[in-house]
């Protein structure tokens, strides 16, 4: 059993998708459709930058999705590897859950781009720049991270945002609380804590205004039928019902990304191979979570060709 997975925020970089676009009409079609949906030359921004614009969450979220979907389209059209035939389930990290849903037909490509543009804008506007922060805790498990967050909060928001793998947890909240957590980390037995270069405190209760925005958006653009099940971030459980998934996408804005648990559950349900599309971010996390499973990232045309030769 094979799971296809899709990366989240932080995986964008200038030059992303350029090789695929140069080599494949399928990739160019994806980038063109996203450009049209957003009334923006997103493909140019992805290819040429500037980096500070690409890193903005309102740009980064649809860009990451577009790159992953272009990778999938090339895999399917140019190399004959169809998701529905060669995969058993999908999942995505944070915004990657929208990409996963697009990949299994629950959202159209243009709608996914517009939803992620709105999601990025709403998340950025939920907290004034400079008032929120996130930090990665390396060498931390969930118990240590939760204890640290509780100690650092001191009446402010300091919450676990991402449970990425057995050795990496991310916290999110008010900047002063997150900075206290960084200072207190070693006292809590955590090897290292570092502030992340993000523009907002994602996946914590401070994002409630953004959740309200997405609730309205998903009311008018709800997910449709899924051709494969998705494992949802906030429950780490298999979902096939579009209405259930719509509710979970709303909760995801403020909720914890339970990635480690999602990977473990997919593996427990039979996934023996995990294939990441568009970046090399999730595969290393997966390798640390389920060491007996195979994990790989498909980014370049050579990656896609080699994968296709193995399974077709």
Catalytic residue, from 11, 24, 43, 94: name it. 94
Judge if 115 and 169 occupy the same domain. Answer: no
Judge if 215 and 290 occupy the same domain. Answer: yes
Average pLDDT taken over every residue of the chain: 96
Judge if 218 and 169 occupy the same domain. Answer: no
Judge if 173 and 39 occupy the same domain. Answer: no
Judge if 78 and 147 occupy the same domain. Answer: no
pLDDT of 55 over the 90 cut: no
Judge if 276 and 231 occupy the same domain. Answer: yes
What is the 3-class SS of the chain, one letter each residue? CEEEEECCCCCCCCCCCHHHHHHCHHHHHHHHHHHHHHCCCHHHHHHHCCHHHHCCHHHHHHHHHHHHHHHHHHHHHCCCCCHHHHCCEEEECCCHHHHHHHHCCCCCHHHHHHHHHHHHHHHHHHCCCCCEEEEEEECCCHHHHHHHHHHHHCCCCEEEEEEEECCEEEEEEEHHHHHHHHHHHHHHCCCEEEECCCCCCCCCHHHHHHHHHHHHHHHHCCCCCCCCCEECCCCCCEECCHHHHHHHHHHHHHCCECHHHHHHHHHHCCCCEEEEECCCCHHHHHHHHCCCCEEEEECCHHHHHHHHHHHC
End residue of a domain, out of 158, 174, 198: 198
pLDDT value for 198: 85
Note if the pTM is more than 0.85: yes
Judge if 24 and 110 occupy the same domain. Answer: yes
End residue of a domain, out of 141, 170, 198: 198
pLDDT value for 65: 98
Judge if 177 and 241 occupy the same domain. Answer: no
Catalytic residue, from 24, 203, 267, 297: name it. 203
> Is 203 known to be catalytic?
yes
End residue of a domain, out of 198, 218, 249: 198
CATH number at residue 192: 3.30.70.250
Confidence of residue 129 (pLDDT cuts 50, 70, 90): confident
Judge if 119 and 16 occupy the same domain. Answer: yes
Judge if 116 and 137 occupy the same domain. Answer: no
> Is 267 known to be catalytic?
no
Tens digit of each residue's pLDDT (9 = 90 or more) over 203-256: 999 999 999 999 999 999 999 999 999 999 999 999 999 999 999 999 999 999
Question: In total, how many domains does the chain have?
Answer: 2
pLDDT value for 197: 85
Q: Which domain holds residue 167?
A: 132-198
pLDDT value for 102: 98
Tens digit of each residue's pLDDT (9 = 90 or more) over 167-176: 999 999 999 9
Confidence of residue 153 (pLDDT cuts 50, 70, 90): very high
Higher pLDDT, 131 or 197: 131
Judge if 194 and 106 occupy the same domain. Answer: no
pLDDT value for 10: 83
Judge if 156 and 278 occupy the same domain. Answer: no
Share of the chain above pLDDT 70, in %: 100
């Amino acid at each position: 059993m094979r799971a296809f997975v899709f990366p989240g925020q932080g995986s964008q970089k200038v030059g992303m998708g350029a090789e695929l676009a140069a080599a494949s009409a399928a990739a160019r079609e994806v980038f063109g459709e996203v450009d049209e949906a957003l009334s923006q030359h997103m493909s140019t921004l992805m290819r040429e930058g500037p980096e500070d614009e690409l890193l903005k969450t309102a740009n980064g979220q649809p860009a990451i999705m577009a790159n992953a979907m272009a990778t999938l389209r090339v895999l399917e059209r140019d190399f004959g590897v169809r998701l529905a035939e060669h995969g058993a389930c999908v999942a995505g990290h944070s915004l990657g859950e929208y990409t996963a849903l697009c990949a299994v037909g629950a959202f159209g490509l243009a709608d996914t781009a517009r939803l992620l543009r709105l999601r990025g804008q709403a998340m950025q506007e939920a907290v004034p720049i400079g008032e929120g922060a996130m930090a990665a805790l390396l060498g931390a498990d969930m118990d240590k991270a939760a204890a640290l967050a509780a100690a650092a909060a001191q009446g402010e928001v300091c919450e676990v945002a991402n449970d990425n793998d057995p050795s990496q947890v991310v916290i999110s909240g008010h900047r002063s609380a997150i900075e206290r957590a960084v200072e207190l980390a070693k006292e809590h037995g955590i090897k290292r804590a570092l502030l992340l270069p993000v523009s907002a405190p994602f996946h914590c209760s401070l994002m409630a205004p953004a959740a309200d925005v997405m609730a309205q958006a998903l009311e008018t653009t709800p997910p449709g039928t899924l051709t494969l099940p998705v494992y949802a971030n906030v429950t780490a459980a298999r979902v096939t019902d579009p209405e259930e998934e719509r509710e979970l996408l709303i909760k995801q804005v403020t909720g914890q990304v339970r990635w480690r648990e999602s990977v473990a559950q997919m593996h427990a349900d039979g996934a023996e191979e995990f294939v990441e599309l568009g970046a090399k971010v999730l595969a290393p996390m997966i390798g640390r979570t389920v060491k007996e499973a195979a994990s790989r990232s498909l980014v370049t045309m050579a990656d896609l060709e080699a994968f296709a030769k193995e399974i077709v």
